[in-house]
Each structure stands twice: as C-alpha cells, then as structure tokens.
Structure 1
C-alpha cells in the first residue's frame, strides 16, 4: 500500500453503478447496483405510503432521530439524519475544519469527490491486491487529520477488523467509517456504530441498500454531539422528507432488524454460491478478491471491458472497476443476487469471456 498525494487520477469519481443500467435498465438484469433485490418490502412501502397524508406539514425528524439513537443505544444528540449517506459526505467536507484529509482506496468515491469539491487537497492511501486490500494502520500518515474508510469496503468487499480501524484514532483526527453495507454482514460483526470510546469517530449508515430506498434518500451519522452540531449547521432546513423519516422509523424497529439479519445470512449464502461459480473460471485468468464479506464481489479478469460489453449484450449489467482509484480496467464489481439469477449470469459470463477473445 502507498500514499498518493499528487495524482488526482483519471478516475471518474462521479461514476456509480446506476450509470450501468440507466439507459437499458428495463432489459438488463442488474448486478451493477448494490441495492438488495426485491425491495422495499410490502410492509415498508405501506408505512411510507401512510406518511403521505402528512405532506402538508414540514418534516419533524425528532421521532426518527430518537428511534435511530435507540437502535444503537445512543442519546439522540449523537445522531444526525441525512438524505442518504452521500449527503453526509458533503456535510463532512464542508463543515469540518480539516487541513489534510486522506481517503483509503479502493472505496466508494463520493467522499473524495465531496472533499475535492469543497476545495480540499486529498491524500489517497491505495491498498493493494497482493495484500488482500487490507489496511495496515501504520500506513496512514500521522498528519492526516481526517481519514475515511469503508467497512465493509465497496468495491473490495473487505471487512476490516473493528480494532484495526479503531487504531487509526488520534487526538485531533476525525475518523470517518462508512458502514453503509454493515447491516448486510451477519451479526454486524466489526461494526463501530454505537461506540463512544473511539475519539473522533464518525460512523455513517445508509438505509437505502438493504431496504431498497435509493430513490427516497435516507441515512444517518453517528458521532460526538459537538460534531453532530457542526454538521447540522451545514444542513439546509428540513433536509429529510416526511416519507424518508417514516422509513427511518420503520427500518430500525425490532421486526425490521430481524428481517435485515435474516437477509444478511441469505446474502452470505448467495455470495458463497456466486464465488464458487466464479472460481470455476480461474483457468481462464479470473481472480476473485477474497474473502468477500459484503453484498458484492470484486473480480479481476482479462479483457474485462470487453467482457462487460458482451455481458450487456447478453442482458446483464455489471459495475466497471476502473473508476475506483487503485483499480484499473481489468476489474469488475458484481452485486450478489439469488441463485437462479447467479446461475444465469455465470452462463452469460462464460459466453462473454469466449466472445471477448475474438
């Protein structure tokens, strides 16, 4: 792993998985977007629909904030509701007074994009395939006063030990941990959400991935009260809509948490099935980044750009990897889907790899 202070790179930090399905989504099976399939569930749609009778009033986020706080065993002053985790990255970039931010890559690119848009010069710590894309805490420079890392990390699907991440904490440093996919990990092991013993810790959570609410935009920040106050001052008035607040309350109730826990175990089983199928392509040069712990898998294969185009012709959308700093055009990210979908995808992948040779 190494730190890159000069290269802003040719990576398109604003490219996201939805771009892969935007034009032809109706005919494509989507393995590009990391949102759980067949969501939101009916009961959640009904809860959101019930909130529509209250649209004449301005949104009141107090109940939702209390509900999220209770879910993590925290006081409400440690919670800030946001229009998805992406808004939280913008607030952090604009509100916090930092001199030397560092983003651990490969990871979700929006944190760096938000920091650059706010006028910051951003360092990159590039984790390497040969190290399993795993972090060594001493690789982070001491002068970094804001460090951003995902856990589990998008797109590598690496789940870093919580103790390893906690070692990054320093006096005067803000440690931002993006846990947008943590509820897809059985038992949420290695989670830092709810911890108050790590100085400078800021944890971001999203409700859009597990519950299929990307179009509604709802997430939250967990941090020390003084940090929450700084971020809240940077927010516009009424940033989270009434339907999104209803969703937040619903998704942190015990029944919803139990459903999410069940889904996490199902995702783990479906991911194991996908990885087992992908390993069959090892003789053709395909490598899986393992162990994968998130609801997606990162693979490296020859002629990946051509394979992706042929997969599209065969009806499957996958996420290109070359927009992530630290990766190149040989990488693809695949969202975990049910076994029937995966089996069809593996057959298409076999065809696409053959076609890419011609």
Structure 2
C-alpha cells in the first residue's frame, strides 16, 4: 500500500483486512469481557452519559412500545436543527447503518476512502462487493487533506471530519473542494458536535453538489447501545437510501432520544460539553508532551474528543496499561497506521492524571 498521499490499492471482497488491517476492530473490543475492571480510554463515547434527563425521556417512551415507531417528529426536529426541509433528513440506526445503506443503494464505480479514518465505511463498501481505493494521508503532513490526491474519476469519496482516529479537523472549504458533478461526497461528522462552535461543519449546507453528511448521537450523548444517527443529503439521495432500509429501522426509544437531543437545552448542554472536552484534551496533550524524551509524539492540533499518539513499543505499552487498569485503542487496525500508534479518548482531569501516572510506569517497564 502506498502512503504518499495518493490513491492506494484496490481491495475487493470482505472486510477481514487482507492487507493486515482488521477493519471490523473497534474500541469496544478493548473493554469487552474484563472491561468492568478497566478505565476506558478506548471508546470515544463521552463519559457519564446519557444524562439523567435523557434517560428519563427514553424510559418514559417504553410505555408506547406496542405501537410501531413513528419517526416524523424526530425527523422534523433534526431538520429544524440544521435549517433543512425534512426531505433532506434520513434517520438511521446509528451512523454505521448509513454506511451500509450508501454502499448498497448507490450506483458506485470508483469509491475512494480517505484514511486513516473510521474503518466501517470501507468495510461496508467491500462487503457490498465494491473495489475500494484508498487515499492515505501522511503523518509527516499532519494527516492533512490534499484534495488533489483524490483521483478525479472517483464517484464516491468518504472522509471524516474531525477524523477518527487522527483528531484532525479539516477546513470545510478544503473538503468542499472534493465535490464534483456526478460524485457523492460523504463527510462523517460523527464527532463534530464535540468541536466548539462546530466550526468547519458542512451539515446544513445545500450548495455543495453531491454532499452527504452523517451525524451520530451516540458519542456526545452516550447512546451507543440505542443506535441513533442521521443522514443529511439531497431529497433524491435520501429517498434512495430510505428505499434500502427495512421497515421501521429506528426504534421508538431512539426516535424519542433524537427529538430530545435536538432541543435548545440539549444543544446548549452539548455546546458546553464541547468546551469542557477541549479543556480536558489540552490537559491530556500537555501531559503526554512531558514524555517527549520517551519518544511519545501527539498528532496535533487535536480537535476531537480523542488524541492520536505515536510511541515506540506501543503494543507492549498498551498491554502494560491493561495490567494497570487502563484500556486504550490500538492503532494498527486503521489503514495508514501501524503498531506504533495508540488512540486515547479524552477524559476528565482526575482520570487523565491517573492515566499519565500509569503511562509513566508502563513506559519504564517496557524499555528495552
């Protein structure tokens, strides 16, 4: 695989990672089984969520489970939140379902995925029988996007913003330069609500041809187990994806949660949380930079609720951290990264301080 920022290998067939990357490995695998004994810095769901008011709203919906789900109110709430007509909104069982729908419903000849990023888009495309090209961004460039690296003939381009796992926030104008007539441009904004002011967001834009924006409510609101997200796209694209969905794809509790999270108080709470995450992230980055003499390097400036770090013997350090009670996300399952990378979720300062002490000990114990 080439890693010079240009188009890389074609990868037909399943998602098992024929090139050595396990595309179906996600952060929850790091805390499965013995996860109750570990402090979780592997999963990018905000800690201490869902909040009590949201749990109460979801619990109150359980009395209506005998009726089939009706998504009209939630869809209208999402549309209003982004200033769009409801025909431009599709509710999904998490953003992950949207990737499957895109892979199955769109007529695609030359899909390109910009890596490193969330691996599910490529896995879904490959499962649907598509040959996938990769554009792999380079660490020496700060994993920054060069639109010229994307093949002109690509008719589907997928990129995350801010990108998981690099925490890079690409300028909206740079991403918009990827748009072309006849091309679908998919922007995964699952973590955009963790960016103060949601600067560089493309959600709500209708002037970018072929734009499809995906949002998730699972990260900021702690709803990974409920599965709720949405697609913002042209009415034609939304209608095509909706036809590929099964009947009643989103449960009543998830619909209630979606509507609740679109309200003014919820949006204000999310905005406050984004500023708090930014402050906690700065504290984490400052602590990590203290280990520069040990070869620890932080990708920056980080803008998401997680940071990507490179360090020698990262896999050994990760295993040692587990013995000390901390789970972190291995990086080598992301195309463009190898075993020297780890992703760390941002947590509150006391948790970060304990983690930094454990990291110091782990680095000492794994030195040659």
The corresponding residue for 2:8 is 4
1:6: how far off?
Answer: 3.6
1:2: how far off?
Answer: 2.2
1:113 aligned residue (123, 137, 151)? 123
Distance 1:107 1:70 in 2: 29
1:305: how far off?
Answer: 0.3
Counterpart contact for 2:10–2:131, Cα < 8 Å:
no
- Cα deviations across residues 220-266 of structure 1 (Å, max 9, x unaligned)? 00000000000000000000000000000000100000000000000
TM-score, reference length from structure 2: 0.97
The corresponding residue for 1:83 is 93
- Cα deviations across residues 101-126 of structure 1 (Å, max 9, x unaligned)? 00000000000000000000000000
Instruction: Return 5+ residue gaps in structure 2 as ranges.
Output: 12-17
Instruction: Return 5+ residue gaps in structure 1 as ranges.
Output: none
- Cα deviations across residues 78-100 of structure 1 (Å, max 9, x unaligned)? 00000000000000000000100
Distance 1:344 1:24 in 2: 19
Distance 2:19 2:240 in 1: 31
SS in 2 for 1:33: coil
1:284 aligned residue (276, 294, 303)? 294
SS in 2 for 1:209: helix
Counterpart contact for 2:110–2:156, Cα < 8 Å:
yes
The corresponding residue for 2:81 is 71
1:331: how far off?
Answer: 0.1
Q: Are residues 1:347 and 2:357 paired?
A: yes
Distance 1:208 1:349 in 2: 28
SS in 2 for 1:35: coil
1:9: how far off?
Answer: 1.5
The corresponding residue for 2:194 is 184
Counterpart contact for 2:111–2:156, Cα < 8 Å:
yes
Distance 2:245 2:210 in 1: 20
Query: What does 1:166-315 align with in structure 2 at a 5 Å threshold?
Result: 166-315=176-325
- What is the root-mean-square deviation in Å for CA atoms of aligned residues? 0.6
1:357: how far off?
Answer: 1.7
- Cα deviations across residues 1-44 of structure 1 (Å, max 9, x unaligned)? 12112465110000000000001111100000000000000000
SS in 2 for 1:302: coil
Q: Are residues 1:157 and 2:167 paired?
A: yes
